[in-house]
Structure 1
Amino acid sequence: MTDGKLAVIGLGSIGSMALWQASRLSDSVTGFEAHAPAHGRSAVGGDTRLFRMIYRGNPGYYPILERSRTLWAELEAETGQNILTRCGGLSIGTADGPYLSALLDTTRTTGAEHQILTREDMAERYPQHNLRDDDVAVYDPHAGALRTDRAVTAAVAAAQANGATIHTNTPIHSITETTDGVLITSGEKSWTYENVIVCSGSWSQRLMPDHLKAATQTKRIFLTWFVARDAAEFTPEKFPVFSRIHEDRSMYGAPAVDGVTVKATLDGRGAPTPNPDTVPRELSTAEITETIETVTEFLPGLIPNLVRSDAFPDLFTKDSNPLLGRLKPDSRIYIATGFSGAGFKNATRFGEIAAHEALGKSSFDGLDFVRPERFETRLTLRQPLPPNNGSVAGLHRSGTFSSTTTESVT
């Protein structure tokens, strides 16, 4: 006998969506969270995340984004919550420069709807941005700002309404695959499930086999907010989400969804940190100085004083693509983590994929770029293993997905 068909470990950006989707497929689903859903120390923190259909990079993400957009609307309809503020989005950079050239190459491949805005167009439509002489923008009509806290709590509530069981303040310390299923423990308590999805963000690394630990790294992401000189100019109706890269300066941000503060944050400043539990929350003098210098140039309508800042951990992979799939083809342990600072926009679709595959309802092709086996390495044994020694590269032959530490998992 087991305690259920599926356990989802970690109810953050991906785990909450996996739980919601799994609850649509089974009435025997349980979610475990070390603290509470949307707690302030996880990668969910920071109020908003950008949703964009236009981006630079792997075109394989586009169908994931399309399905994610549909699922965000379904979550809103199911819960009555306004989660995605649909305000459009701007990608700003040098005309023919590397940023916009790469972005437009991907956009032409995917066929995403877009509009190129000249410097004059921008001055007329979005004068909040102080552009350099050679800047242009690409407008994404389907972009917007995702309300992170609201999204996670809505997904968890929807899962509960579908019959899912939730255990909060229950850190998971070990996960072991056995002949009966997957044994998970929290202190002296234990449960056995037919399958488990691990969605613990940076805390997942502690429970990974060695080859995946070596392919991942926790990084500190910081966010900053400002007050506008004229708040009416930075509402979602007038100020789309944006990403701007120009040689020595880069920034992204979102409108004042709270009616007061505008998010404007340096892009690409994630720094390695050894422990997700001890991420420095305060910004350094250099981080503050660069942020204020950049916002002063890019957005002169914002008062150049930080009114709020914070920092959060997120798990990055070597190739910046997530880990989504079973540890081995016959494993009952499925991981959905390592989203490298860019997972929230796709969280609904990745959660749907994880739920369907972990429950054995369906599988999905075209996802080799996110499968964990891409980081597998062949192990050369210089001498035979001693009898009954089942440890190979941190993953026991019995299927243990565990760690020597007993620290909590988010």
Structure 2
Amino acid sequence: MANHYDVIVLGVGGMGSSTLYHLAKRGIRACGIDRFEIAHDRGSSHGDTRIIRKAYMELPSYIPLLNRAYELWEQLEKETGSKLLLQTGLLLAGSPESEITQGLEDCYQKHELPHTAMKASEVDQLYPQLHLPEDWVATFDPFGGILRVEECVRQYASMARRYGANLYTGEAVLSWKSEGNKVLVETERRNLTADRLILTAGSWSVRTLLDIGIEIKILRKVSLWYLGSGVENYRREVFPCFCIGIGSGSKFIYGFPVTDNWGLKVAEHNLTRNEIDNPLKVNRCLGEEDEKPVLEFLGHFFPQLSPKRSKFTTCLYTMSPDENFIIDFHPEHENVVIAAGFSGHGFKFASVIGEVLVDLAVNGETKHPIEFLKIDRF
């Protein structure tokens, strides 16, 4: 049957493109469907760059997944001949009592990972272009680096096609339902069936999760790029990626050294909660309130930069109730696997999440430790 697949993947962004690649590479008849084109800018997997790191203050349980993610990103680079991960190192800093600092201590107590702990005075000597309060502490993660986000998605999608997967882009999914041992999917252009369905639809997963009692929040986020006097002091050759705590909680501002003509990239995490109801109706204009916390941050911490904005983008966070991923079988349909709620820190895991989802859909289980991400925790 031409319109029947072993597995259908709904949503071909970071997670979906990786999933489709892993399916096709295993010789499984699969297709991916997305309402937009590959590497589009309407969801969560765009904006040129994403940080990858092993300094994981969020939860030490992610480290085994991260270790495998690094291996798989390297594997994709070798398969495609593309440079996808730029090693820069990552500097994380905050007050001693902040959740970032406490979370890093927990991470390094539970996992023996190379890192360097520093006082603010030591950071000032290494990076005089960054000013920290004198009572702060910092950690340097040598594994920290930059993923070229759109190129990662493009390469996964391209390799999936090469291995035999079909891609239907530019067509919205109107409905899906599981009936017996089959899944029926209706799009704007065709009707498809499959033995298994994998949902990697990002902010378009909200309805499905709400139906099973999990409320996902969609947040609008803005990334900004800056040129200006002094920007040369923040080139990747002399300055790392950074994550700087704001206050004593889990709020931070993060960014990337200069790697292109757009300059220094900076964005906030958890400082604002600009919730939206519909991922198709997002304000993609820049407001004063979007830039204010970033400019204040640069004024305090980046004394050698006179920032002049060169570019901005908007993207979406899909926030789970506990800000950890949701990866599990649909509780009512054993032939449907859900991956959602990546809460603004998921892309670095895309390489391994695809492997996990294929394990679940095809084998019914995975060797990867994902118990802490299952639905029954809610």
* TM interval, short-chain normalised: over 0.9
Q: 1:348-396 CA deviation, whole Å, 9 max, x = no partner? A: 1111100121122742364222112333xxxxxxxxxxxxxxxxxxxxx
1:149 maps to what in 2? 150
Q: CA deviation at 1:13?
A: 1.1
Aligned residues: 374
Q: CA deviation at 1:328?
A: 2.9
| More divergent stretch after superposition (214-223 vs 91-100) | 91-100
Distance between the aligned counterparts of 1:75 and 1:259, measured in 2? 26
The structure 1 residue matched to 2:259, chosen from 257, 260, 270, is: 257
Distance between the aligned counterparts of 1:266 and 1:365, measured in 2? 31
1:239 maps to what in 2? 239
1:390 maps to what in 2? none
- In the alignment, structure 1 residue 190 sits paired with structure 2 residue 194: no
- In the alignment, structure 1 residue 283 sits paired with structure 2 residue 286: yes
- Seen in structure 2, the aligned counterparts of structure 1 residues 231 and 188 have a Cα distance that, compared at 3 Å, is closer
Q: Tell me if structure 2 keeps the 8 A contact 1:175–1:207.
A: no
Q: Tell me if structure 2 keeps the 8 A contact 1:14–1:351.
A: yes
What SS is found at the alignment partner of 2:156? Answer: helix
Give, as a single letter, the amino acid of the residue that structure 2 aligns with 1:191: L
Q: CA deviation at 1:150?
A: 0.6
2:328 maps to what in 1? 325
Q: CA deviation at 1:259?
A: 4.2
Normalising by structure 1, report the TM-score. Answer: 0.86
The structure 1 residue matched to 2:345, chosen from 342, 345, 365, is: 342
Q: CA deviation at 1:231?
A: 4.4
| More divergent stretch after superposition (125-134 vs 7-16) | 125-134
Q: 1:285-322 CA deviation, whole Å, 9 max, x = no partner? A: 23322221111111123323322222212211101111
Give, as a single letter, the amino acid of the residue that structure 2 aligns with 1:299: F
Q: CA deviation at 1:96?
A: 5.1
Distance between the aligned counterparts of 1:100 and 1:194, measured in 2? 46
Give, as a single letter, the amino acid of the residue that structure 2 aligns with 1:277: L
Distance between the aligned counterparts of 1:216 and 1:110, measured in 2? 30
* Seq. identity, %: 28
- In the alignment, structure 1 residue 86 sits paired with structure 2 residue 87: yes
Q: Tell me if structure 1 keeps the 8 A contact 2:65–2:368.
A: no
Q: Tell me if structure 1 keeps the 8 A contact 2:84–2:147.
A: yes
Q: Tell me if structure 2 keeps the 8 A contact 1:231–1:260.
A: no
- In the alignment, structure 1 residue 271 sits paired with structure 2 residue 274: yes
Superposition misfits of 4+ residues, deviation over 4 angstroms: none
- Seen in structure 2, the aligned counterparts of structure 1 residues 270 and 22 have a Cα distance that, compared at 3 Å, is farther
Q: Tell me if structure 2 keeps the 8 A contact 1:255–1:263.
A: yes
Distance between the aligned counterparts of 2:209 and 2:171, measured in 1? 19
What SS is found at the alignment partner of 2:322? Answer: coil
Q: CA deviation at 1:276?
A: 0.8
Distance between the aligned counterparts of 2:232 and 2:189, measured in 1? 55
Q: Tell me if structure 2 keeps the 8 A contact 1:253–1:264.
A: yes
Distance between the aligned counterparts of 1:265 and 1:209, measured in 2? 29
Q: 1:328-359 CA deviation, whole Å, 9 max, x = no partner? A: 38611111111011100111111110012112
Runs of 5+ in structure 2 lacking a partner? none
- In the alignment, structure 1 residue 226 sits paired with structure 2 residue 226: yes
Give, as a single letter, the amino acid of the residue that structure 2 aligns with 1:70: E
Distance between the aligned counterparts of 1:155 and 1:343, measured in 2? 16
Q: Tell me if structure 2 keeps the 8 A contact 1:281–1:310.
A: yes
Distance between the aligned counterparts of 1:18 and 1:301, measured in 2? 43
Normalising by structure 2, report the TM-score. Answer: 0.93
Please tell me the root mean square deviation across aligned C-alpha atoms, in Å: 2.0
- Seen in structure 2, the aligned counterparts of structure 1 residues 359 and 329 have a Cα distance that, compared at 3 Å, is farther
Distance between the aligned counterparts of 2:74 and 2:369, measured in 1? 24
- Seen in structure 2, the aligned counterparts of structure 1 residues 296 and 157 have a Cα distance that, compared at 3 Å, is same
Distance between the aligned counterparts of 1:335 and 1:6, measured in 2? 13
| More divergent stretch after superposition (252-261 vs 158-167) | 252-261
Give, as a single letter, the amino acid of the residue that structure 1 aligns with 2:117: I
Q: 1:82-129 CA deviation, whole Å, 9 max, x = no partner? A: 111111001011245443133212222122211012223222322221
Distance between the aligned counterparts of 1:64 and 1:110, measured in 2? 13
Give, as a single letter, the amino acid of the residue that structure 1 aligns with 2:266: A
1:388 maps to what in 2? none
The structure 1 residue matched to 2:304, chosen from 301, 307, 318, is: 301
Give, as a single letter, the amino acid of the residue that structure 2 aligns with 1:321: N
Distance between the aligned counterparts of 2:228 and 2:308, measured in 1? 10
Q: Tell me if structure 2 keeps the 8 A contact 1:222–1:270.
A: no
1:100 maps to what in 2? 101
What SS is found at the alignment partner of 1:306? Answer: strand
| More divergent stretch after superposition (140-149 vs 180-189) | 180-189
1:353 maps to what in 2? 356
Q: Tell me if structure 1 keeps the 8 A contact 2:56–2:62.
A: no
Give, as a single letter, the amino acid of the residue that structure 2 aligns with 1:79: T
- Seen in structure 2, the aligned counterparts of structure 1 residues 26 and 222 have a Cα distance that, compared at 3 Å, is same
Q: CA deviation at 1:230?
A: 3.9
Task: Note the 1:107-122 alignment, pairs <5 A.
Answer: 107-122=108-123
What SS is found at the alignment partner of 1:332? Answer: strand
- Seen in structure 2, the aligned counterparts of structure 1 residues 83 and 32 have a Cα distance that, compared at 3 Å, is same
Larger Rg: 1
